[in-house]
Chain A
C-alpha cells in the first residue's frame, strides 16, 4: 500500500481548484504532475550549479556535468541496465523512437525486409516507421487485437517470418491499458533474428522494468509521464547494438575528431547526444526516478491496478458506457478509455472539466487503433501515484451530470 496523503502533499498543483471544484487530475497518461522534489532539483542546478556540461574546465561546469552523469546512473539503476553508457538521453519518447528508427532502421533495413508492429501503437511508434519504410523499401506489418482488447500474439505467429528485421511494440497501450507479453513477443522475434524495440512511454512510468528480463533490445520513454520534466526522454539499448548503430544527428558533443571532410564519433552514449543536451531536465528526471524508487515500482503498479479495478467496477454502473480495454486488471495498466452512448468525447471532457475532473478526449495519437475499434474519438481517464478512489467517484458523478445535460437520464 502506498501513502497517498503523503504523496499528494508533494504535488502543489493538486491543491488547485478548477471551476470552483477540487481538481481530480485523471490525465497522467498524457503527462504526469511533478513533485516538489523534482522542481527543487532543477531549481537547485539553475540557482547554484549551472554551466554547460562536458565543456568548461571550471567548477560550475564540473558540478553540472557530475549531476548530469549521476542522473544517467540513476536511470541505469532504475532499469537495471548493464552500464550507464546504455542510457542515451533524448528529448522525449518520440525522439528516442525516431533515433532508433533513423539510426538503426535506415542503416539495417532494405527492400523486402519487414517491420512488425501492432495496431495499438501510438503514432510515435508508427509514423517514424512510415518514413523509414519509404526510405528503405521495407514493409510495415501489424499484429491485431483479440476481441478482449489483448494483443493477439498467437494469431500473429505467422507474421514472425525471416523477412522481419525489427519488431516495434508498445509495452503498454496508452488507450487500452493493455500490457502485451513482451517476453513472448521478444522470444518469437529472436527466433527469426529480429531486433526488438519496446515503446515504454506508458510501461516505464507504471510498472517495474528490468531490461535484463524484459526481452527488448531497445526501450524508449519520456520523463514527463513519470513525474519528471518535459524535454527529456531516454533510449536504452544493448551496448553492442548501440556501438554498431549510426548516429541520427551530428553536431557538438558527439564527436571524437572533426576534419574538413569527415569526422569520427565519440563513444556511446555521447555519440547519440549531439549538441547541448537537456541536462537540467535529465537531472529532474533523476529526481523523479529517486521519488518513484522510494515508493517502489511494485507498489506503483499495485496502486494503479487497485484504482483501475475500482474504476472499472464503478464505470460498469454508468448507463450507456462501454470501456475499450481489458475488463479485468490482469496485465493491464491504469488507462481507461470509454465511449458514452449519445455524447461525444469532447462534450464529455468539457462537462467533466466544469466539475473539476481532467480527462483526455480525442484519438489519443492512436488513429489506426481507434479506426480499428470503429471510433473517431474516446474519453480516457488515467491514474498515477497521487490519485485516490474519491477522484474515481468524482469522475462517475460528473458523468451523471453529462448524461443529465444531454437528456440521457434513464427513467
Chain B
C-alpha cells in the first residue's frame, strides 16, 4: 500500500532519532525556514571552513517527513564542499518534483552515490501535499549557504 512507500522504516528511524540535532555555537552560516501553512520550522546552522561544511546542526519541529529529511540532509552534506552540496540539493529537489523520475543515480549502494538514506524519501512524491515538507530543510540549507556566500 502507498502508505508504506511514504513511511519507510528508515524515515521513521530518522524521525524518532534525528541526527545532527544540535545548535552549533561556532556556526558561520545560519538560516531559518518555515512553512506558514502547516507550522513546520527548521533551523540550519553550518560551519563552513575552506569551502567545506565541516559541521551542521538541524533543529526545529514538524512532521516526520520534514524532520527526517532534515536529519538525513545533515548526514548527506557533512564533510562536503559547497559545490557538491549544490548538486546534491538540485538532485534532491528533482527527485521531489511530481513528475520527477526515480533517479538511478540516487541508488545508495552505487559507488559514489551521495544521497544515502535520502532515497527513502522518494515515496513522498506520491503525496503531493507533503513534498514541501521534504523540501523545507533543503530550501533552508540553500538559504544558509546563500547567506554565507553573500557575507564572505
Q: Name A residues whose Cβ lies closer than 8 Å to a Cβ of B.
A: 343-347, 350-351, 354, 361-363, 367, 370, 376-377, 401, 405-407
Using Cβ atoms and an 8 Å threshold, which residues of chain A touch B4?
A: 405
Q: Across the interface, which residues of A come within 8 angstroms of B3, CB to CB?
A: 350-351, 354, 401, 405
- CB of B7 within 8 A of CB of A405, answer yes
Query: Can you list 28 pairs linking A and B with CB atoms under 8 Å apart?
Result: A346-B38, A346-B40, A346-B62, A346-B63, A346-B130, A346-B133, A347-B64, A347-B65, A350-B6, A350-B129, A350-B130, A354-B1, A354-B3, A361-B38, A362-B38, A363-B39, A367-B39, A370-B39, A376-B41, A376-B62, A377-B39, A377-B62, A401-B3, A405-B3, A405-B7, A406-B7, A406-B12, A407-B12
Complex CA gap A346/B64 in Å reads 8
| The residue from A344, A350, A370 contacting B127, defined by CB atoms under 8 A apart | A350
- Least CB distance from B16 to A in Å reads 8
Closest residue of B by beta carbon distance from A345: B63
A345 to B12 alpha-carbon distance, docked (Å) = 15
A-B pairs with lowest CB-CB distance, top 4: A346-B63, A344-B63, A376-B39, A363-B39
| Residues of A close to B12: CB separation below 8 A | 406-407
Shortest beta-carbon distance, B68 to chain A, in Å?
A: 10
| Cα A43 to Cα B38 with chains together (Å) | 35
* Distance between Cα atoms of A347 and B15 in the complex (Å): 12
| B1, B39, B41, B63: the one within 8 Å of A347 (CB) | B63
Q: Are B130 and A362 in contact (CB under 8 A)?
A: no
Residues of A within 8 A of B37 (CB): 362
Among residues of A, the one whose C-beta sits closest to the C-beta of B60 is A376
Q: Is B61 an interface residue (CB 8 A)?
A: yes
Q: Which of B37, B38, B41, B67 has the most CB of A within 10 A?
A: B38
B2 interface residue (CB < 8 Å to A): yes
Q: Which residues of B are found within 8 Å of A376, using beta-carbon distances?
A: 39, 41, 61-62
Q: Among residues 83 to 141 in chain B, which have CB atoms less than 8 Å away from a CB atom of chain A?
A: 127, 129-130, 133
Residue pair A344, B41 in contact (C-beta under 8 Å): no
* Additional A-B contacts beyond A346-B62, A350-B3 (15; CB < 8 A): A343-B64, A344-B62, A345-B63, A346-B63, A346-B133, A354-B2, A362-B38, A363-B38, A376-B61, A377-B38, A377-B39, A377-B62, A405-B3, A405-B7, A406-B7
A84–chain B nearest beta-carbon distance, Å:
39
Q: Are B2 and A362 in contact (CB under 8 A)?
A: no
| B40, chain A: closest CB distance, angstroms | 8
Residue in A344, A354, A363 whose CB lies within 8 Å of B64: A344
A363 — nearest CB in chain B belongs to which residue? B39
Cα–Cα, bound, A367→B34 (Å):
14
A27 to chain B, nearest CB (A): 14
Q: Which residues of A contact B61 (CB under 8 A)?
A: 376
Q: How far is the CA of A363 from the CA of B34 in the complex (A)?
A: 13
Q: Tell me the bound Cα distance from A345 to B3 in angstroms.
A: 16
Residues of chain B within 8 A (CB-CB) of A362 are: 37-39
A345 vs B6: C-alpha distance when bound (angstroms): 15
A362 CA to B130 CA in the complex, in Å?
13
A142 and B7 CA atoms in complex are apart in Å by 41
| Residue of chain A at shortest CB distance from B9 | A407
Residue numbers in B under 8 Å from A350 (CB-CB): 3, 6, 127, 129-130
A406 proximity list for chain B (CB < 8 A): 7, 12, 64
Centre residue among B4, B64, B67, B127 by max chain A CB count within 10 A: B64
Task: Give Cα A363 to B38, complex, Å.
Answer: 7
CB-CB under 8 A from A354, the residues of chain B are: 1-3
Residues in B with CB closer than 8 Å to A344 are 62-64, 67
Q: How far is the CA of A346 from the CA of B68 in the complex (A)?
A: 14
Cα of A129 to Cα of B2 in the assembled complex, Å: 45
Q: Closest residue to A375 on the B side, CB-wise? A: B39
Q: How far is the CA of A401 from the CA of B41 in the complex (A)?
A: 26
Q: Shortest CB–CB separation between residue B135 and chain A, in angstroms? A: 14
Residues of A within 8 A of B6 (CB): 350
Whole-angstrom distance between the Cβ of A290 and the nearest chain B Cβ: 35
* A401 to B3 CA separation, bound complex (whole angstroms): 10
Enumerate chain B residues within 8 angstroms of A345, measured Cβ to Cβ: 63
Least CB distance, A373 to chain B, in whole angstroms: 13
